[in-house]
């Protein structure tokens, strides 16, 4: 495999990469993984990449595929646990982006409780149509209804579809992916900017590089996910969720992550906060 004895004496950092060519939010994660590896190496660690699955909730809707995304969250957590335990990584950099991938990765981090940093792929840029901003929430959902109502024709609908999602990244709206990527910051397992730096920006690659460096620093400090993701951290995440009007799916995910962390987060906390 080409590893030198010196490299194997350094902290071995697993780079968990959910890259695939199916999900718009994950198509660019290969670049982020490379950036994270550079960060790990620069900080004195040895990066080792391995893959994990990722489903697009949007593509899987309106057919039998819609039964699979939530279940995939557990598959993601289990597969990361399996790889990390089998190979005894010293730490992890978790690189995901979309709806069920983020919580699955955080569940694994809490279950394993080895030094971990999450970095997301970032949100998609906004598109445009006839001089107006256009994305899934601003235009496309309404356009489907307009087509059914006969106020626009098939050619107009197709042109809007071709311009609504102009870049890589998670869907341009405060849905589950962008909400969870923001809450990661409040939980303390992601670096500042994780929820907001657009996917195509160079700053996103710089963030991945910083995440790699931070993973090595956490290993050297002995700082683990359960030390960071405390009950107060989860309350911070819920507060942020309420403040930004994020996805209600975060209730499902935060409770599951808290369970893996051994944190007594209660459903009532969402109403109270």
What secondary structure does DSSP assign to 205-231, as a single string? HHHHHHHHHHHHHHHHHT--HHHHS-H
The CATH-assigned architecture of domain 5-125+169-272 is: 3-Layer(aba) Sandwich (3.40)
Please give the average per-residue pLDDT across 248-259, as a whole number: 98
Mean of the per-residue pLDDT values of the chain: 97
Which positions ≥6 away from 1 have C-beta within 8 Å?
A: none
pLDDT recorded at residue 237: 98
Which pTM value belongs to this model? 0.96
Structure tokens at 224: 């683990």
Q: Where in the chain is the domain with CATH 3.40.50.2300?
A: 5-125+169-272
Which range of 130-134, 138-142, 264-268 scores highest in mean pLDDT? It is: 264-268
Report how far apart, in Å, the C-alpha atoms of 159 and of each of 129, 148, 268 are: 8, 16, 45
The answer to whether the beta carbons of residues 170 and 178 sit under 8 Å apart is yes
What percent of the chain has a predicted confidence (pLDDT) above 90? Answer: 96
Please give the average per-residue pLDDT across 147-156, as a whole number: 96
């Amino acid at each position: 495999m080409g590893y030198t004895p010196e490299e194997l004496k350094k902290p071995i950092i697993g780079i968990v990469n959910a890259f695939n060519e199916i999900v718009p939010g994950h198509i660019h994660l290969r670049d982020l993984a490379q950036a994270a590896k550079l960060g790990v190496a620069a900080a004195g660690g040895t990066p080792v990449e391995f893959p994990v699955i990722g489903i697009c909730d949007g593509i899987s809707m309106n057919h039998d595929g819609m039964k699979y995304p939530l279940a995939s969250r557990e598959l993601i957590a289990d597969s990361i646990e399996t790889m990390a335990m089998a190979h005894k990584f010293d730490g992890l950099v978790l690189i995901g982006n979309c709806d069920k991938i983020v919580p699955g990765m955080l569940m694994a981090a809490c279950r394993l409780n080895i030094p971990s940093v999450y970095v997301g792929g970032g949100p998609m840029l906004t598109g445009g149509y006839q001089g107006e901003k256009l994305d899934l929430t601003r235009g496309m959902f309404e356009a489907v209804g307009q087509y059914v109502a006969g106020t626009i024709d098939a050619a107009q609908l197709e042109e809007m579809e071709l311009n609504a999602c102009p870049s890589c990244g998670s869907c341009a709206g405060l849905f589950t992916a962008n909400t969870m990527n923001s809450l990661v910051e409040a939980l303390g397992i992601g670096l500042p900017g994780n929820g907001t730096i657009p996917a195509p920006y160079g700053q996103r690659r710089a963030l991945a590089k910083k995440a790699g460096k931070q993973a090595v620093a956490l290993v050297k400090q002995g700082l683990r996910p359960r030390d960071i993701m405390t009950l107060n951290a989860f309350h911070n995440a819920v507060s942020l969720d309420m403040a930004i009007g994020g996805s209600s799916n975060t209730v499902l995910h935060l409770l599951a992550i808290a369970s893996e962390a051994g944190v007594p987060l209660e459903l009532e906390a969402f109403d109270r906060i």
